[in-house]
Amino acid sequence: MLKYAMIGGGPGAFVGAVHRRALMLNGQAKLVAGCFSRDLEKSHAIGAELGLNEDRLYATPEEMARLEAGDIDFAVVVTSNEAHYPNVKSCLEHGIHVMCDKPFTHTSAQAAELVELARSKGLTLGVTYTYAGYPMVRQMKEMIARGDIGEIRFINCEYPQGWLAEMLEATGHIQASWRADPARSGGVLSLGDVGTHVEYLVPHVTGLKLTRLAARLDTLVPGRQLDDNGTILTEYDSGARGMYWYSQAATGMVNGLTLRIFGSEGGLEWHQEDPDHLRHMPLGQPARTIVRGTPDLTPGAQAFSHTPPGHPEGWLLAFANIYTNFCNTIAHGAAPDFPTGEDGLRGVQFIETCLESSRNDTTWIQL
């Protein structure tokens, strides 16, 4: 079993506990050390809850990386955005593999530096674009690769949430406060938080490369400093076109990530809130629903499927699927089949390009 340490994920945090649970489901790694908070007392409190030895709880991530190097196999970075770059860099400099939450860094220059540092040291670097871990997302990817829908013509991907339809950041809400702070989030709110999931998912599933975009970033909630809604027109290297929409001010929406892909021979549609079903619409034939866990699944989707059909699989198991190959790459040299540092770099470049386009009256920009 691999050994890992966590940076972030302390009291009041959300995603750190998700990573820990996913790694428990994954069953390939054990948490042995951490710097869960800037406040050492809080780190000790979380460490005690998790059954960690006191002498493996650290005041700073730098201290942890220095003293744990050679013992832990990897680190998981789940801090707020502004701390991703220094914490990942410190771990890589000490020879530690890293999985980082998204968005990867504040700037593409920082992301490129980390990618090169990992490459030069032969280290594995991942970014948790979790939705790639769903079985039916893998089903879409493999169906498209074998030509089931023909040549892709149009892509529509949307990710609406409604939890920031009010000014939660003005109430002291922990998750809203740092996301809405330009200095901590990196100058974007919802584009970084959910828009980057859209950016990763489309090329992952289709194999296409985004070549040009025109973005309009909106702030719908009065008094907010950063974007909470965005619409992006897209073009790809194949000539296909697309449209992305993301929002965290879509009142009443919960977690409505949806991907629709239309080709010359059919279409595919998947909804994250109904993750076990994939709608396939072959040209000239009745639409059909492919159900997770049934014999219709492709080999990759079957490998990602853990429970019998009719017993829904969800977000935690998608996280666990991402970590399975990450751990196999570290332990056995498996070919990377998870979102990598290069994918994280592309996501930051996407953010920068969207900001530039929106600031210039939604002009088209070449990537």
Per-residue b or e along 127-136, where b marks 16 or more CB atoms closer than 10 Å to that residue's CB: bbbbbbbbbb
Residue 316's nearest CA partner among 19, 44, 102 is 19
| pLDDT confidence of residue 332 | 96
Determine phi and psi for 243, rounding to 5 degrees. -145, 130
| Domain 135-313+340-359 = CATH 3.30.360.10 | yes
Task: Evaluate whether 89 touches 64 at the Cβ level (below 8 Å).
Answer: no
Query: Per residue of the chain (367 residues), what is the pLDDT tens digit?
Result: 999 999 999 988 889 999 999 999 989 999 999 999 999 999 999 999 999 999 999 999 999 999 999 999 999 999 999 999 999 999 999 999 999 999 999 999 999 999 999 999 999 999 999 999 999 999 999 999 999 999 999 999 999 999 999 999 999 999 999 999 999 999 999 999 999 999 999 999 999 999 999 999 999 999 999 999 999 999 999 999 999 999 999 999 999 999 999 999 999 999 999 999 999 999 999 999 999 999 999 999 999 999 999 999 999 999 999 999 999 999 999 999 999 999 999 999 999 999 999 999 999 999 9
Q: Count how many Cα atoms sit within 13 Å of the Cα of residue 218 in the half-sphere of its side chain.
A: 14
CATH 3.30.360.10 residue ranges for the chain: 135-313+340-359
Residue 360 structure tokens: 């210039």
DSSP structure class, residue 99: E
Residues paired with 340 in a beta bridge: 126
Q: Residue 197: which region, alpha, beta or left (left: phi > 0; alpha: psi -120 to 50)?
A: alpha
* pLDDT, position 127: 98
Domain with CATH 3.40.50.720 in the chain: 2-130
Class of domain 2-130: alpha beta
Q: How far apart are CA 40 and CA 59, in angstroms?
A: 5
pLDDT of residue 13: 85
Taking CA atoms, 105 is separated from 40, 83, 177, 338, in Å, by 25, 8, 18, 18
Task: Enter the pTM of the model.
Answer: 0.96
Q: Where are the alpha helices (DSSP H) in 251-333?
A: 299-304, 315-332
